Amino acid sequence: MLSDKMEKALNDQVNAEMFSAYLYLAMVAYFQDKNLSGFANWMNVQNQEETFHAMKFFRYIAERGGRVSLEAIEKPQFEWESPLAAMEAAQKHEAYITGRINDLVNLAIKEKDHATNSFLRWFVDEQVEEEDSVNEVVQKLRLLGSHGGGLFMMDRDLATRVFTPPAE
pLDDT tens column, 87-108: 999 999 999 999 999 999 999 9
The predicted-structure confidence for 40-52, as pLDDT tens digits, reads as follows 999 999 999 999 9
pTM across the whole model:
0.95
| pLDDT above 70 as % of the chain | 100
- Which CATH class, in words, describes the domain spanning 4-158? mainly alpha
Rounded to whole angstroms, the Cα distance separating 58 from 54 reads 6
Position 168, amino acid = E
Non-local (6+) Cβ contacts of 133 within 8 A are none
pLDDT value at 168 more than 90 = no
Rounded to whole angstroms, the Cα distance separating 152 from 110 reads 49
Radius of gyration of the chain (CA): 17
Q: To which H or E segment does residue 36 belong?
A: none
Rounded to whole angstroms, the Cα distance separating 139 from 30 reads 20
Q: What does pLDDT average to over the chain?
A: 96
Residues in the chain, how many? Answer: 168
Q: To which H or E segment does residue 137 belong?
A: helix 114-144
Rounded to whole angstroms, the Cα distance separating 107 from 5 reads 9
DSSP H helices, 34-82, are 37-63
Domain residue ranges of the chain, discontinuous segments joined by +: 4-158
